[in-house]
Amino acid sequence: MRPVPSHGVRVITAGLAMAGLALAGCGKDSSGPDPDGNNLAPTADFTSVCTGLTCAFTNLSSDDDGQVMGFAWDFGDEQQASTKNPSHAFATGGEFTVKLTVTDDHSGTGSRSKAVTVTVPPNGAPAADFTVTCSSLDCTFHDVSTDADGTVVAWAWEFGDGAGSTEQNPPAHHYDATARTIYSAKLTVTDNEGLTSLKTAEFTVSPAATLLCEDAPGTGHFASCALVLEEDASVTVKLEQRSCDAHGNTFQITAPLAQTLFTDGCYSPAVGTAFDLNDGEVFAAGTRLEAQVISGASNQLTAPALHVTGAYPTWTLAFDDGVGGVNEPDFNDLVITVTANPAP
């Protein structure tokens, strides 16, 4: 059933008819050849490239008098495919006899078998990785290690201060630092085949910034101080402005009571938000107020600091988170006022 759309093809068809006539002497029907009886079977062939347990097969089959239409692959592991150039992943290593059977456009078939050898690839090392986030002197380590061809089964942490842990995600670790300190922590992970990987990370921890007043104005020398109420008064704390982007900046009143007013000062609360300390309770004259800011920044170049200006009844607290840069420290990361409201 060959289409004969052009004059040239008709000539070839006539030639085949002549050949058929020549075979008539062998007992063939003289009316012409049986098309199927004269179809040439296709020749099956293929190549393969194997990496690890996976082989990519490339069909090289041909059919001298037509086209190869169908492909039936038997990979020798009870798996099959019917695409022209399949890829196949064997479940185990070893030698497999792969058989390709092709079918041509006249239903003729040809097949070929070849042996392929696949091997279980050697175990790959895991990749140690972790994150660390610190709030003041307390740091939390989080494992994010991976093993592409297996699982991580063991963790060995060294926190950089002599302490360590073998938990995947250890509890928050406290550093006994009295100033800004750079620590280098290490995580070694082991995979299910015993290979290891090491990750080291440096990070900075700093004590919370406490109130520092300029003890001799104009000297730039700031010393620890407290805000003293000169009369019986309630206290209002207000976030006046901010210019920072670290998460975790936490402002706390630490005396005469402990009250955390916000924990993410670069983002919330809104600038202008005011807090009545201890729900507006009146504190006695002589009460000393103390406060601190915990820097959420993990890349401090200087210790975070909290400078105080003003005098009773209103103080301004200017916080710098210690993140370095041009014109830093600029003491505008958080600006907070503390106002005493004398009791009537």
> Where do contacts with Ca ion occur on this chain (CB under 5 A)?
39-40, 63, 65-66, 104, 108, 123-124, 147, 149-150, 191, 320, 328, 330, 333
Q: Which CB sits closer to Ca ion, 143 or 320?
A: 320
Least distance from Ca ion to the Cβ atom of residue 86, Å: 23
Least distance from Ca ion to the Cβ atom of residue 312, Å: 27
Least distance from Ca ion to the Cβ atom of residue 43, Å: 10
Q: How far apart are the first and last CA of the chain?
A: 111
Backbone angles phi, psi at 136, to 5 degrees: 55, -120
Q: Which CB sits closer to Ca ion, 104 or 143?
A: 104
Residues 283, 232 contacting (CB under 8 angstroms): yes
3-state secondary structure (DSSP) of residue 271: coil
Residues 242, 334 contacting (CB under 8 angstroms): yes
Least distance from Ca ion to the Cβ atom of residue 270, Å: 20
How far is residue 20 from each of residues 3, 63, 259, measured CA to CA in Å? 19, 21, 105
Rounded to the nearest angstrom, the gap between the alpha carbon of residue 319 and the centroid of all alpha carbons in its chain is 33
Q: Which CB sits closer to Ca ion, 125 or 282?
A: 125
DSSP letter at 178 equals S
Least distance from Ca ion to the Cβ atom of residue 148, Å: 7
Q: Which amino acid is at 297?
A: A
Q: Which CB sits closer to Ca ion, 112 or 174?
A: 112
Q: Which amino acid is at 63?
A: D
